[in-house]
Amino acid sequence: MADLVRAKEPFRFYTRLNLTELTGLAASNLVQLSDLIKQVPGASIYQHTHRFLQQHLYLSPEPPNDFAYWITTVLGEDELGEKLASIDTIQFSTIHGLREKIAGTIEGYLKDNPRASSKFAHKDEEFHFMKSVSFILPTPYAAYNLREFADILGKVTIDSIYFHIFEARLRLEKGANDFSSWIETSLGNKKLANEIAKLDPYVYTLEDLRKKLIKIVEKGIPR
Amino acid sequence: MAKIEEYVPIVGQSIIDDLRLLAEKLKGKVIQNINSTSVGGGVAEILNRLIPLLRELGVDGRWDLIKGGEQFFGVTKKFHNALHGRPAEISERDFDVFMDTSLKNVEEVNIYGDIVFVHDPQPIVLIKKKAANKWIWRCHVDVSNPDKRVWDFLRGFIVNYDAAVFSAPAFSQHLPIRQFLISPSIDPLSDKNKELPEELIDAVLAKYNVPKDKPIVTQISRFDRLKDPLGVIEAYRQVKKYVDCRLVLAGGTAADDPEGIKVLEEVKEKADKDSDIHILLLPQNDIEVNALQRASDVVVQKSLKEGFGLTVAEALWKAKPVVASNVGGIPLQIKHKYSGLLCHSAEGAAFAIKQILNSPEYAKKLGENGHEHIKSNFLLTRHLRDYMLLFLSLDYQEDVIHL
């Protein structure tokens, strides 16, 4: 049995807990929606592109963002809803880039379909902008090798996995998820790091993502 | 009262570990909750659960009440209706009554909290005692379309708080202070939600003379116009033409709700001695409420307005198919056709009830999905976590906070 590589610096698991802040801003049609998308804080764009992931842990497939869901179910603009739902969030390394893409998609659609701007949501069904406030806390868990890492992946809260995969990459703009970064730099396992990096985590439920990660990591443990 | 460890088998150890981590960060702070009643209604129910758990986690949570007479609560009931957007005749004298009692409370209530957590409009004027401590106003009411006069009056006090908390996104308002979204919750270990033996459920049905010979459609709510019990009877009558069933309308009245008895009389009149309509006045008997929900084939919540509509979460937790109005916090709990059915009218409610009664497999799936959704998002442990995050947030302005 080959030896497990022991990292000099362990992977320390953090967790992220979310509190939702309300902005008091609401849109009742597409023009207002795209104007507000351009103005609201980044934390608001983050909230509306990631909320579903955390609130519906067991449902899949889920609408990936609140904008797509609202446009489809309330305004009945299925085509635009689909365009927004299929924006590949994993392609964006900053909230700024994601925001531009969402606003640009709505504006492009309005140009081609001017009649869509005259659809208004009922007062009770307006789009309410919220924003995400993240609290990042250390957990007691630390891993020095892949065996420990896989074991802890099975134990930590789903919020911890969420933090290291989604929040670290996009919201903290680290460019990569924390797991891949550690596996590459501290364990020198570029192949395994890449395998995790090329996952599209947005198409999994969080519990399925946990299972998938454990499976990938376990494959990398020498037998 | 349940201990925090008793929640581990339901939500998992890691969720409880997170609560302990947060509680550690709040050591040394006194959280003073203030509302107007210790029994009846959702606010008292939640505080009765949350405060002992906060204390067990090591957070110094306390609870004080303001005082008020019949006149004061008569006015606050009018305010409540007006905030829900119902026309209410509110005179200058009513505002005077409200202020007179409020100012007496300002004099008499001892404020000692590092964080003062004021629930609903009744104690709102206490903000006049704000010093160096932090103040939060917790709005449990659906203020998506409030009467402007009452809202503007209250807004004059709200703007002096450090933050406000609402139960649903549609309730947020243009305010110069921070606003947070925190949904209320249910306690899976309370008498109202814990598992019950079949014999006990049967005994409660027998006690209230509700035979099990036909499907049971139930609405559990205070006798309050905003809960639309008359609309439920209309829906039942439409269903009854096609599916023979019984209707149970059960609920109590809160100490601060003088209107309740009047509504109960109207409901009895509308029921017109139909022996399949069971109108039950249950003064604070949680086990019986639990049993009635568990005995039901469909649970209805046909409110015209809702602060949140926790009876929906209670029924979904028991994996019951639910038909409920698309108001207040209800759409947060029910995703239409996935974890229940939403409706906008008595006709819509009747159609949805018929669908459920005629399709047992579909009904079962709705209930199961609903149970999972409540487990992830609307249990007391999530509520405790959000409140602790709220208290911690008062010391930061950033969107990403490293604790």
Do B22 and B157 lie in one domain? The reply is yes
Helix H or strand E encompassing A18: strand A11-27
Asked if A131 reaches chain B (Cβ–Cβ under 8 Å), the answer is yes
Are A159 and B18 an interchain contact pair (Cβ–Cβ within 8 Å)? yes
Contacts of B379 in chain A (CB under 8 A): none
Domain ranges of chain A: 11-16+134-219, 20-131
By Cβ distance, the residue of A15, A59, A136 closest to B18 is: A15
Q: What is the CATH number of the domain that holds B293?
A: 3.40.50.2000
**Smallest Cα–Cα separation from A143: which of A160, A126, A129, A120?**
A160
What is the side-by-side strand order in the sheet with B246-251? B277-281, B246-251, B216-220, B298-301, B322-325, B341-343
CA distance B356 to chain A (A): 22
Contacts of A17 in chain B (CB under 8 A): 18, 22, 385, 389
Note the ipTM here: 0.89
Identity of the residue numbered B172: S
Contacts of A24 in chain B (CB under 8 A): 172-175, 179
Do B229 and B169 lie in one domain? The reply is no
Do B384 and B369 lie in one domain? The reply is no
Contacts of B17 in chain A (CB under 8 A): 139, 157
Are A136 and B402 an interchain contact pair (Cβ–Cβ within 8 Å)? yes
Q: Which residues contact B118 (CB under 8 A, 6 or more apart)?
A: B34, B35, B124, B126, B127, B135, B136, B137, B138, B161
Asked if A32 reaches chain B (Cβ–Cβ under 8 Å), the answer is no
Asked if A42 reaches chain B (Cβ–Cβ under 8 Å), the answer is yes
Do B76 and B208 lie in one domain? The reply is no
Instruction: Give A95-142 pLDDT, tens digit per residue.
Output: 999 999 999 999 999 999 999 999 999 888 899 999 999 999 998 899
CA atoms within 13 A on the CB side of B150: 26
Asked if A207 reaches chain B (Cβ–Cβ under 8 Å), the answer is no
Asked if B180 reaches chain A (Cβ–Cβ under 8 Å), the answer is yes
Give the residue on A whose Cα is nearest the Cα of B327: A124
Residue B400 in domain: no
Do B297 and B357 lie in one domain? The reply is yes
d(CA B318, CA B204): 17
Are A56 and B389 an interchain contact pair (Cβ–Cβ within 8 Å)? no
Residue B311 in domain: yes
SS3 A87: coil
Instruction: Give B149-163 pLDDT, tens digit per residue.
Output: 999 999 999 999 999
By Cβ distance, the residue of B14, B144, B166 closest to A157 is: B14
3-state secondary structure chain B: CCCHHHHHHHHCHHHHHHHHHHHHHCCCCEEEEEECCCCCHHHHHHHHHHHHHHHHCCCEEEEEECCCCHHHHHHHHHHHHHHCCCCCCCCHHHHHHHHHHHHHHHHHCCCCCCEEEEECCCCHHHHHHCCCCEEEEECCCCCCCCCHHHHHHHHHHHCCCCEEEECCHHHCCCCCCEEEECCCCECCCCCCCCCCCHHHHHHHHHHCCCCCCCCEEEEECCCCHHHCHHHHHHHHHHHHCCCCCEEEEEECCCCCCCCHHHHHHHHHHHHCCCCCEEEEECCCCHHHHHHHHHHCCEEEECCCCCCCCHHHHHHHHCCCCEEEECCCCHHHHCCCCCCCEEECCHHHHHHHHHHHHHCHHHHHHHHHHHHHHHHHHCEHHHHHHHHHHHHHHCCCCCCEEEC
Is it the case that residue A180 has pLDDT exceeding 80?
yes
Residue B162: domain span: 4-185+380-393
Do B124 and B220 lie in one domain? The reply is no
Identity of the residue numbered B117: F
- Number of residues assigned to chain B: 403
Give the residue on A whose Cα is nearest the Cα of B11: A157
Share of chain A above pLDDT 70, in %: 95
User: Would you say the C-alpha torsion A173, A178, A183, A186 has a positive or negative sign?
Assistant: positive
Asked if A205 reaches chain B (Cβ–Cβ under 8 Å), the answer is no
Give the Cβ contact number of residue B97 at 10 Å.
18
Residue B401 in domain: no
Are B174 and A157 an interchain contact pair (Cβ–Cβ within 8 Å)? no
Identity of the residue numbered B384: L
Residue whose structure tokens are 């307005």:
B305
Do B337 and B203 lie in one domain? The reply is yes
By Cβ distance, the residue of B169, B173, B390 closest to A19 is: B390
When scoring B16, B400, B402, B403 by the number of chain A Cβ atoms within 10 A, the one with the most, hence best to mutate, is: B400
Do B22 and B154 lie in one domain? The reply is yes
Residue B193 in domain: no
Cis before A63? omega within 30: no
Asked if A174 reaches chain B (Cβ–Cβ under 8 Å), the answer is no
B266 to A96, B231, B259, B287, B324: CA distances (angstroms): 57, 12, 11, 27, 22
Asked if A61 reaches chain B (Cβ–Cβ under 8 Å), the answer is no
Are the C-beta atoms of B142 and B81 separated by less than 8 Å?
no
Are B14 and A156 an interchain contact pair (Cβ–Cβ within 8 Å)? yes
Contacts of A131 in chain B (CB under 8 A): 399
Q: How many CB pairs under 8 A join A and B?
A: 91
CA distance B169 to chain A (A): 6
Asked if A111 reaches chain B (Cβ–Cβ under 8 Å), the answer is no
Give the residue on A whose Cα is nearest the Cα of B398: A133
d(CA B350, CA B299): 12
SS3 A7: coil
CA distance B142 to chain A (A): 11
Do B109 and B252 lie in one domain? The reply is no
Asked if B173 reaches chain A (Cβ–Cβ under 8 Å), the answer is yes
Contacts of B175 in chain A (CB under 8 A): 24
Q: How many domains does chain B have?
A: 2
Are A132 and B399 an interchain contact pair (Cβ–Cβ within 8 Å)? yes
**What does residue B74 show for φ and ψ, rounded to 5 degrees?**
-60, -45
**What does residue A222 show for φ and ψ, rounded to 5 degrees?**
-65, 140
CA distance A178 to chain B (A): 16
Parallel, antiparallel or unpaired: strands A127-143 and A11-27? antiparallel
d(CA B273, CA B276): 9
Instruction: Give B36-79 pLDDT, tens digit per residue.
Output: 988 877 788 889 989 999 999 999 999 999 999 999 999 999 99
Do B106 and B20 lie in one domain? The reply is yes
**Torsion, Cα of B255, B259, B262, B263 (10° steps):** -100
- Spell out the per-residue pLDDT of chain B, length 403, in tens: 789 999 999 998 888 989 999 999 999 999 999 999 888 777 888 899 899 999 999 999 999 999 999 999 999 999 999 998 887 789 999 999 999 999 999 999 999 999 999 999 999 999 999 999 999 999 998 898 899 999 999 999 999 999 999 998 989 999 999 999 999 899 999 999 999 999 999 999 999 999 999 999 999 998 989 899 999 999 999 999 999 999 999 997 655 567 888 899 999 999 999 999 999 988 778 999 999 999 999 999 999 988 788 899 999 999 999 999 998 889 889 988 889 999 999 999 999 999 999 999 999 999 999 998 999 899 999 999 999 999 999 999 999 999 8
Do B368 and B283 lie in one domain? The reply is yes
Instruction: Give B281-292 pLDDT, tens digit per residue.
Output: 887 789 999 999
Residue whose structure tokens are 């080959």:
A2
Do B17 and B137 lie in one domain? The reply is yes
Asked if B392 reaches chain A (Cβ–Cβ under 8 Å), the answer is yes
